[in-house]
Every structure is written in structure tokens, then in C-alpha cells.
Amino acid sequence: MAKAYTPGLLVTRHKKHRIMRRLPISGDVRVKINDQVNAGDIVAETNLPGNVHPVNLANQMSLPPADVVACMLKAEGDAIALDEPMAQSKGMFGMFKNTVKSRFEGTVETISPVTGQVIIRGAPLPVQVKAYMSGQVVSVSEHEGCEIEADVAYMQGIFGVGGETQGKIRVVGSGHDQELTADLITDDMAGCLIIGGARMTVEAIQRAREVKAAGIISGGIDDQDLKELLGYDLGVAITGRENLGITVIVTEGFGEIAMADRTYAMLREFEGRVASINGATQIRAGVMRPEIIIPLESVPPAANEGQFEEGQLEAGRLLRVIRDPWFGMIGKVSDLPAKPHVLGSGSKARVLEVTFPSGEKAIVPRANVELIEE
């Protein structure tokens, strides 16, 4: 094999992007095919069944479970208010009646003669699904959701925390290798997506949160800073549900590492535009990477997407080493030896030779590089 498949992160100036917006359970879809939607629009909504509260009436009334049904003042399906009498015992000679009031509000779902348990279901919880990406509705599945499509510029990050949000792109700092520090963030950045260069500090993230920025994107982050931000040491890279009030996306990795030139240039180009971002990352089977989506008003002319086939490792391609000792360095493939090499660790692996801009050459296992799409 003269070529090897080494996928990198997708960073593209133009892509027809289609997203699926689904309800967790069936409900109402509020858009029609061909509707134009904005990122913040609600496209579907439903009510989740409310929380369930089991009440053990048999014990509360000192009754055998089978007798509970006869004592109920409410039937299955009845609505019940807080402190409303729910059941009453027969008492003795019509006296000493024991009444149990409901401690929950909702509807009586079931009355079990086996357990003596009454299940009250609370008020339904409304769930709304937003469009997330501005675009056109291209398909609607009734009661389930819809698909939205748009022409976008699309960038994948390597890792993120926090969920879906959108905001205006705002580049701070002077270049792709400048560290993103707190002093670069100003009060007028509320609702913005702050774009930095290299490593972002935890102070910068905190500051961005203070000014109510929607998101913050940069090349790298220190593990220690991430731990401080989350309040715990992240064990498994499954994120997206954190409640930080800000979405954080790292495009390259952990440590002091600059954002890839191309990504930075693209973000700079789109400065001022509204983008949708999602920090959700899942690195398991079915990989999910954080994304930055910038809807385009007009489709750019088909640019020369490079002379290389996507994902193919060939001599001359630009790549990034993603493991020490040359972690983060960018170079060009100069040779692809066919035979496996013995590494410093003693293992045998297929390698490639990379030439760094300084002219220095190095042998790196193919598993430890990532292509940079040009």
C-alpha cells in the first residue's frame, strides 16, 4: 500500500450539511418542508411524561394491599392536587376514618392491588427542539422531527465541553499561536463565540463566562485547567451535557498547541458571522467530535480542494504529529517506507518519514499522525 488511510478532522470551506433534529418521544413538528429556519427557532416540541411518584398507601393506612383499591377516592386517570384527599379508610362504625392526602400533584396513573402502591405522575415536562443551524427544512417525519440542510463552512474540533449554542464569531489576539488569556476578553463579547489561537487558560474561560460569551474556541487547553473548569478529572471523553453556561471547543489537543493555520484563517475570514457550535464529544465507536458550523449565504465557487484524495496518506501531504516526542508539530510526508520499522519502544509498526519546516526529518509511526486537509 503506497497510500494509507489516516483520517484527520474535517475542516472545509464549503459543505452541504444536513442535520437531524429529533424529539426524544413523539410530539409536534412545527415546521414544513422548504421552510427557512433560523438557528434559534423551535422546530418541534412535545411533552415528556412527568416524573413518577410511587406512594405506598397500604402501609400508610395499615391495610393489606388488596384493600387499597376499595379505599381510593380517586380512580386511575384522575387528576389530583397537592393535599387533596386521595384515599380514606372504612374506619370503625363509620368513625375513625383515616384519610391520606396526596403529597404530589399530577394524575393517578395506577393503583396496584398487589403492592398497595399508587403511582402519581407529575405534570408533563415540555421539551423543545431548536433548529440549531439556520437553513432549509428538507424533510419532516411526522411527530418525530425534521432534517435541516444548509450550505456551510464546517470545522471539527478535537474535543469540547458544553452543548449546542450559537453566536457571532469574534477573533481575539493576533495570530493562531497566541495564547488566549483573560485580558483579551472584553465586556462587549456577550453572546459571542470567542476565537483564540493557542492554549486557552482557565481564567480566560472564566472571564468569557462572566461576560456571558456563548462559546470559546482555541487550539489547546491544559488538563489542569480543564479539571479546574469542570470541577472533576474527566475520565472518559463523553461530553456535551456539562452545565457550564459556555461551550468550549479545543481544535488541536491538550497542552500548549497552536490552532491549525487553516482553521484559524477560516474563522478569521468569517469573523462577524453567526455560527452554531456544539461541544459534545464522544470518542467511542461512533465518534462524535465538536463542530463549528457557519451557514453561508451564497455557495462559494468550487475551490480547488487540493490535489490529494481525502484521507489518503501520500508523499508531500501536510500532517500533524499527534504523539510525543514531536507532539503538535506540523510537517510534510517525505517518505512512506513499506516495511514496518522497529520503534524506540521496541515495537514494530508501519512508519513514515516526515520533514518539518526546519528541514529536520523524523520517523513517526503512521498511527501517530493526522492529516491536515488543505
State the residues that interact with other proteins by CB under 8 A: 49, 51-57, 59-60, 62, 65, 109-110, 112, 114-117, 119, 121, 158-159, 222-224, 226, 233-237, 253-255, 281, 283-286, 322-325, 327, 341-349, 351, 362-365, 367-368, 370
Q: Cell digits for 200?
A: 486557552
Q: Cell digits for 261?
A: 493555520
Contact 150, 174 (CB under 8 A): no
Rank residues 47 and 224 by Cβ distance to other proteins and give the closer one: 224
**Closest approach of Cβ 256 to other proteins, in Å?**
9
Contact 252, 259 (CB under 8 A): yes
**Closest approach of Cβ 370 to other proteins, in Å?**
7
Rank residues 154 and 254 by Cβ distance to other proteins and give the closer one: 254
**Closest approach of Cβ 292 to other proteins, in Å?**
17
**Closest approach of Cβ 122 to other proteins, in Å?**
8
Rank residues 122 and 191 by Cβ distance to other proteins and give the closer one: 122
**Closest approach of Cβ 3 to other proteins, in Å?**
15
| Helix (H) or strand (E) segment spanning residue 268 | helix 261-269
Rank residues 301 and 357 by Cβ distance to other proteins and give the closer one: 357
Rank residues 190 and 363 by Cβ distance to other proteins and give the closer one: 363
Alpha carbons 166 and 277: distance in angstroms, whole number = 6
Main-chain phi, psi angles of 208, to 5 degrees = -60, -35
186-195: Cβ within 8 A, 24+ apart: 186/211, 187/211, 189/213, 191/167, 192/167, 192/168, 193/166, 193/167, 193/168, 193/169, 193/217, 193/275, 193/277, 193/292, 194/170, 195/169, 195/170, 195/171, 195/264, 195/267, 195/268, 195/271
Q: Cell digits for 25?
A: 418521544
* Best CA proximity match to 124, nearest among 20, 42, 27, 31: 27
**Closest approach of Cβ 284 to other proteins, in Å?**
6
Rank residues 119 and 211 by Cβ distance to other proteins and give the closer one: 119
Rank residues 260 and 351 by Cβ distance to other proteins and give the closer one: 351
Alpha-carbon distances, residue 108 vs 58, 76, 86, 123, 165 (angstroms): 16, 5, 9, 11, 38
311: phi > 0 → left, psi -120 to 50 → alpha, else beta; which? Answer: left
Contact 89, 71 (CB under 8 A): yes
**Closest approach of Cβ 135 to other proteins, in Å?**
22
Cell 470559546 belongs to 216
Rank residues 39 and 250 by Cβ distance to other proteins and give the closer one: 250
**Closest approach of Cβ 65 to other proteins, in Å?**
7
